[in-house]
Structure 1
Amino acid sequence: MAGIYIHIPFCRQACHYCDFHFSTSLKKKEQLLVCLKKEINLRRNELFGEPIETIYFGGGTPSILTFEEINDLIAEVYSIFEVSENPEITLEANPDDLNRETINKLALSKVNRLSIGVQSFYDEDLKMMNRVHNAEEALKSLQYASKKFENISADLIYGVPNMSDERWLSNVQKMINLNIPHISCYALTVEEKTTLNRLIQKGVVPAPQEESAQRHFVLLTQVLKKNGYIHYELSNFSKPGFFSRNNSAYWLGKKYLGIGPSAHSFDGKNRSWNIANNTLYIKGVESEQLVFETEKLTQFDRYNEYIMTGLRTIWGVDRKVVGEKFGEQFLDYLDKRVKKYVEKELVKQEENIYILTDGGKFLGDGISSDLFWLDLK
C-alpha cells in the first residue's frame, strides 16, 4: 500500500510562523491545478502498481479550493491508480473556509477526513500568529464539521509567548469537550526566514520559552491520557480507531508520491522533492520536464530515519529490525548509545523494542539524533 500527497501552494495570507512553500496570489491557481493533474499522469508508474490507501491534500491551504476542484483532483487519482476500497482521503482546512455550505458539499465528496488548523481558541494568540480566522470561527468550524464528518483532526500550538498554563489547558479542554477524535499539537518554533523571527529580532514579540513549551507538553499528555486519547506519536493524540493512516505510513516507512511544487516523494530507497517555485513548477510540467532533486539514501541514512521515525511513535525501535535490515554492527551501536537513556528512564525496553518514556517524549528529537550513526567518510 502507498500514499499520494497533493500540495496546494496557496494561502489567503501568510502566518507569521510558517516556512512552508505557498503564495498569497491566486493568479496561477487554474494553471497550477491543470499541472497537478498532468503530473499525476506523468508519474503514474512510480509507485510500481501499489494500491493507494491514502490521499492527502496539504499546503498551503487546500480548503481554498472549490468543491469541484477538489473532486476533480481526486477523480484524476482514481483514473490513474488503483485505489483501495476504503482509502483515507484528508483535506487540510482553515476554520474560515468551513462554513455550513462548504462542509455540506465536502461531505458529498470522497473526502472522509478533515484536518482543521485551529491553533488556538483565543483571538490574542491568533492575531500574534497572523491567522485569518478568529476564535469564534475556530469553534464553529469544529461544531459544523462534527455534524458531517466522523473523522476529524484539529491542530493546536503550544509554547506561544504569553500563553499561560490555564489558557493552554482551556484550548485542550475545548477539543475534548467537542469530542474531536484526533488532535495534533506542535510547539511554536521560530524558523529563520519567517515574519515571526523578524518580529522577535525587533523586540515586537517575545521569543518562545522552552520551559513554557515543556510544561505545556506535560500538561497536554496528562490531560489527554486521562480522557482516553492515545499518544501514538510525539505530536499526535487519537481516540482508538482514529490514528492518521497517512502520517502513520510516513513513520512506518511506506512509499508515497508527492504531487505539486515542493512536494516530497519516497520510493523505499530514494527521496525526491519538486522545485519550490510555482512558476518553474508549471513550466516544467507543461514541457513534461519535471524539475526535482533526488537523494539516494545510504544505509546510514536509512538507519537514522528508522531511529528518528520509530522513536517518535508507540511502535518504537525494534532491535530485531535493526539487526536484520542494517546488521549487527548497527545493533551493537544502538544498544551502546541508548543505554544511558534507559538508565535515566527516558527510554524503556519492552522485550526487543526501545520506546520513549513519558519523561523522554519532550526530549525525543534530541535523543534520536544522539542515536544516529554519522558516516564520517
Structure 2
Amino acid sequence: MSGIYIHIPFCKQACYYCDFHFSTSDKRRDDMLKAIEMELVLRKNEMAGQVDTVYFGGGTPSLLSTEEINGLLDLIKEHYDLGTDPEITLETNPDDLSNIKIKELAVSEVNRLSIGIQSFFDKDLKYMNRAHSAFEAKKSLEQATRYFDNISIDLIYGLPHLSESDWKENLDYTFEMGIQHISSYALTVEPRTALDHFIKSGKYQAPVDSLTGKHFNILQAETKKQQYLQYEISNFGKDGFFSKHNTSYWKGIPYLGIGPSAHSYDGRYRSWNIANNAKYIAGIQKNRLASETELLTTEDMINESIMTGLRTIWGVSLAAIDQNHGKAYKKEILKQAAKYIENGILYVKQERLFLRPESYFLADGISADLFLLKV
C-alpha cells in the first residue's frame, strides 16, 4: 500500500496558530494547479506498485471546485496504478461545505471528508481566527452526514480560556452527530506565528500545561466510553474508520508528496518540495522540481520508527529492527528503554515496544530519550 498527498497551498485567511505553508492570495491559482498536474506526470515513475490512498491537504483543498478535484484524480488514474477501492480524502472547512458542494463531492470519487471544525464555540473560533462560525460548523456536519459515511473532524483543545465543560460539550456534539473519526490536537505555539506574537506581546495568554493535560484526559475518557479506539495519540476512530493514509505514514509505508512544501518518502530517501509558490511553479515550468533530498542513515530510520511507533497502538517492531538492521540496534533500544520498562511506562509484547496510553502525553520526550546516535 502506498499513498499520494497533494498540497493545495491556499486559504481564505490565516489561522493564528498555523505554521503550514499556504497563501491567502490565489492570484496564481491556475498556474499552481497546472504545476501540480505537471508534477504528477513528472514523478509518475517514482511510485512503484499500487496507490491505495489519495489525500488532498493544505492549505484548504475545499477551495477547489469539484471539477478541479476530479481532474486531478483523473490524472492520477491515468498515470498511476490506483487501487480498486482507494481511500480518497479531502480536507475541508465548514464554510466551504454548502449543500451544493457536498452533493457534488458525494458523486465524485472523494469518499472521505476531513472537516476542520476545531470548535463548536464562536469565542474559540474567533480566538483562532478561523474563517467559519459555530453555526457553519454544525450546519456543515448536519449536511455532510447525509451524504458521507466516512467523516473525520479536527478539534483543538488546550485553549487557555476553554473550560473543561465546554471541551466536553464539543465532544458530546461530535458523538451526537455520529462522527466516526476524530483528530484532536493540543493548541501549540509555533515560532513566528501570529499566536506566538500575540503571546509574546501580552495580547493572548499562553496555553497552560495543566489545563491542556486535563483536556487530554477528558478526550481519552470520553472517546473510550463511545467505543473509539485511540490508535494514534491524536487520532480516535471507530472500528473500520481509521485513516488509511495517515496510518501509512506511521507505519513507514512509502508515499509521494505533490505540491509546494509536500514531503515524500520511499523507505531510504526523504524529500521535500520548496515551500514557496512562485519558485515551485517556476521550477515545474522548466520540467524540474525545486526540492531537497536526504538519504536516511540506519539511525535515522530507526529513530523515525521509534518516534512514530510509540505514538500508535502498533508500537515499535523490535523484530523488524533486528531483521533489517541487526541485533546490536535492538539491544541498544532495549537498554535505553530499560528505565521506562521498569517503571511501567513502556512494555514489550510479542517483540514490540509499546507506550501505555496513560503516558501518551509524554511520548515526544520518551522517544527523544530512546533515539540512537550510533551503535
Number of the residue aligned with 2:30: 30
Shift of 1:375: 4.2
SS in 2 for 1:295: strand
Shift of 1:84: 0.4
Number of the residue aligned with 1:7: 7
Between stretches 360-369 and 2-11, larger displacement belongs to: 360-369
**For 1:149-189, what per-residue CA distance to the aligned partner results, in whole angstroms no more than 9, with x for missing partners?**
01100000010111111111111111111110000000100
Between stretches 130-139 and 312-321, larger displacement belongs to: 312-321
Q: How far apart are the structure 1 equivalents of 2:223 and 2:42?
A: 44
1:97 aligns with 2:107: no
**For 1:74-116, what per-residue CA distance to the aligned partner results, in whole angstroms no more than 9, with x for missing partners?**
1111110010000000000000001111100000100000000
Q: How far apart are the structure 2 equivalents of 1:322 and 1:311?
A: 14
Report if the CA contact (8 A) 1:345-1:359 is conserved: no
Shift of 1:324: 1.1
Map 1:1-377 to 2 at 5 A: 1-48=1-48, 50-375=49-374
Shift of 1:27: 0.4
Shift of 1:374: 2.0
SS in 2 for 1:84: strand
SS in 2 for 1:261: coil
SS in 2 for 1:16: coil
Give the AA of the match of 1:266: Y
**For 1:321-370, what per-residue CA distance to the aligned partner results, in whole angstroms no more than 9, with x for missing partners?**
12112211111111111121122222222232221112211111111111
**TM-score if structure 2 supplies the norm length?**
0.98
Tell me the number of residue pairs that the alignment of Structure 1 and Structure 2 aligns.
375
**For 1:54-86, what per-residue CA distance to the aligned partner results, in whole angstroms no more than 9, with x for missing partners?**
000000000001111111111111110010000
Give the AA of the match of 1:46: E
**For 1:283-325, what per-residue CA distance to the aligned partner results, in whole angstroms no more than 9, with x for missing partners?**
0001102110001000000000011111111011122112112
Give the AA of the match of 2:101: T
Q: How far apart are the structure 1 equivalents of 2:45 and 2:179?
A: 37
Q: CA RMSD in A?
A: 1.0
Give the AA of the match of 2:31: Q
Unaligned runs of 5+ in 1: none
Question: Percentage identity across aligned positions?
Answer: 51
Give the AA of the match of 2:40: I
Q: How far apart are the structure 1 equivalents of 2:2 and 2:167?
A: 36
Report if the CA contact (8 A) 1:345-1:360 is conserved: no
Q: How far apart are the structure 2 equivalents of 1:273 and 1:53?
A: 21
Q: How far apart are the structure 2 equivalents of 1:272 and 1:34?
A: 21
**TM-score if structure 1 supplies the norm length?**
0.98
Report if the CA contact (8 A) 1:158-1:213 is conserved: yes
Report if the CA contact (8 A) 1:118-1:154 is conserved: yes
Q: How far apart are the structure 2 equivalents of 1:34 and 1:375?
A: 44
Unaligned runs of 5+ in 2: none
Q: How far apart are the structure 1 equivalents of 2:85 and 2:121?
A: 37
